[in-house]
Structure 1
Amino acid sequence: MTDTHARPRPAGRRGRRAALCGTAAAAALVAGLLAGPAASAAPGTFVHPGVTVSAAQLDFVREKVNAGEQPWKDAYDQMTGSGYADLDRTPRPREVVECGPYSDPNLGCTDEREDAIAAYTDALVWYLTGDERYARKSIELMDAWSATLRDHTNSNAPLQTGWAGSSWPKAAEIIKYAYTADGGTWANEGRFADLLRDVYLPKVIAGSDSNGNWELTMTEAAVGISVFLEDKASYDRAMDTFRVRVPAYVYLASDGDLPKTVPGSGRDSRDEIIAYWQGLDHFENGVTQETCRDLTHTGYGISSISHIAETSRIQGDDLYGTDVGERLRYALGFQSKYALGAQPPSWLCGGAVKDDLGPITEVGFNALHTRLGNAMDNTQTLTEQKRPQGTNNLFVAWETLTHAENPN
Structure 2
Amino acid sequence: MARPRTILLAVLALLATLLAGAGAVPGAGDRAAAAPATFAHPGVLVSKPQLDFVRTKVNAGEQPWKAAWDQMTASSYASLSRTPKPRSVVECGSYSNPNYGCSDEREDAIAAYSDALAWYITRDSRYATKAIQIMDAWSAVITDHTNSNAPLQTGWAGSVWPRAAEIIKYTYTGTWSNSGRFATMLRDVYLPEIINGAPSKNGNWELIMMEAAIGISIHLEDRTSYDKAMGIFLGRVPAYVYNTADGAQPKYPPRSSIDTYSELVGYWYDQTTFVNGVAQETCRDFGHTGYGISSIGHVAETTRIQGQDLWPQLAERMRHAYGFHTKYENGEAVPSWLCGGSVNKGLGPITEVGFNALHNRLGIGMSNTEQYTLAHRPQGTENHYIAWETLTHADNPA
TM-score interval, normalised by the smaller of the two chains: over 0.9
Paired residue total: 378
Shift of 1:268: 1.6
Does the residue aligned with 1:152 lie in a helix, a strand or coil?
strand
* Map of 1:353 onto structure 2: 343
Aligned partner of residue 98 in structure 1, secondary structure: strand
Which of these residues, 62, 85, 98, is aligned with residue 105 of structure 1? 98
The within-5 A match list for 1:8-407 is 31-32=21-22, 35=25, 38-39=30-31, 41-179=34-172, 183-208=173-198, 209-322=200-313, 324-407=314-397
Aligned-pair identity in percent equals: 65
> 1:189–1:325: structure 2 CA closer, same or farther, 3 Å change rule?
same
Query: What amino acid is aligned across from residue 83 of structure 2 in structure 1?
Result: T
Question: SS at the partner of 2:390?
Answer: helix
Amino acid across the alignment from 1:215: E
1:13 aligns with none
Contact 2:24-2:232 at 8 Å conserved across structures? no
Partner of 2:145, secondary structure, is strand
Provide the C-alpha distance between the structure 2 equivalents of 1:28 and 1:85, rounded to a whole number of angstroms: 45
**1:263 to partner: Cα distance:** 3.0
Give TM-score, length-normalised by structure 2: 0.93
Distance 2:77 2:374 in 1: 24
Cα distance in 2 for residues equivalent to 1:357 and 1:144: 33
Gaps in structure 1 of 5+ consecutive residues: 1-26
Aligned partners of 1:57 and 1:406 also within 8 Å? yes
Q: Offset of 1:30 from its aligned partner?
A: 6.1
Equivalents in 1 of 2:316, 2:207: separation in Å? Answer: 17
State the match for 1:22 in structure 2.
none
Q: Under a length normalisation based on structure 1, what TM-score does the superposition of the two structures give?
A: 0.91
Q: How far does residue 133 in structure 1 lie from its aligned partner after superposition? A: 0.3
Distance 1:67 1:30 in 2: 50
Write the letter of the residue equivalent to 2:22: G
**Cα offset for 1:29?**
6.0
The CA distance in 2 between the partners of 1:219 and 1:348, in whole Å, is 29
> What is aligned with 1:23?
none
Once residues 184 and 35 of structure 1 are traced to their aligned partners in structure 2, the CA distance between those partners, rounded to angstroms, is 42
| SS in structure 1 at match of 2:90 | strand
Give the counterpart letter for 2:388 in structure 1: W
Alpha-carbon distance, 1:270 to partner: 1.0
SS of the aligned residue for 1:175 comes to: helix
Higher RCO (CA-CA < 8 Å; seq separation 6+): 1
**Root-mean-square deviation over aligned CA pairs:** 1.4
1:320 Cα deviation (Å)?
A: 1.0
Deviation at 1:95, TM superposition (A): 0.3
Shift of 1:44: 0.7
Q: Distance in 2 between matches of 1:72 and 1:114?
A: 22
**CA shift for structure 1 position 157:** 0.1
Question: Residues 343 and 352 of structure 1 are in contact (CA less than 8 Å); yes or no, is this contact kept in structure 2?
Answer: no
Per-residue CA deviations over 1:91-132 (Å, capped at 9, x if unaligned) read 100000000000000000000000000000000000000000
Which string of whole-angstrom CA distances, capped at 9 and with x for unpartnered residues, describes residues 138-189 of structure 1? 000000000000000000000000000000000000000111xxx2110000
Contact 2:86 2:141 in 1 (8 A): yes
- Distance, in Å, in 1 between the alignment partners of 2:118 and 2:43 is 17
The answer to whether the 8 Å contact 2:208/2:291 transfers is: yes
SS state at 1:321 partner:
helix
For residue 11 of structure 1, what is the aligned residue in structure 2?
Answer: none
Partners in 1 of 2:42 and 2:84 — Cα distance?
24
SS of the residue aligned with 1:147?
A: helix
Deviation of 1:32 after TM superposition, in Å, equals 3.5
Distance in 2 between the 1:319 and 1:30 partners?
Answer: 20
Counterpart position of 1:17: none
Q: Which moved more, 1:325-334 or 1:195-204?
A: 325-334
Q: Please list the CA deviations of residues 236-268 of structure 1 after superposition, one character each: whole Å capped at 9, or x if unmatched.
A: 111101110000000011111110113331222
Contact 2:23 2:232 in 1 (8 A): no
Rounded to whole Å, the distance in 1 between the matches of 2:20 and 2:264 is: 22
Aligned-partner Cα distance in 1 for 2:90–2:24: 33
Distance 1:278 1:36 in 2: 28
Q: Does the residue aligned with 1:119 lie in a helix, a strand or coil?
A: helix
Q: Structure 1 residue 36: deviation in Å?
A: 6.5
Alignment partners' CA distance in 2, 1:33 and 1:361: 28
Shift of 1:325: 2.3
Counterpart code for 1:142: M
CA distance in 2, matches of 1:33, 1:123: 32
Deviations 1:366-403 (A, max 9, x none): 00001111110000000000000000100000000000
- Which runs of 5 or more structure 2 residues have no equivalent in the other structure? 1-16
User: Is residue 34–residue 264 contact of structure 1 (8 Å, CA) maintained in 2?
Assistant: no
For residue 194 of structure 1, give the secondary structure of its aligned residue in structure 2. helix
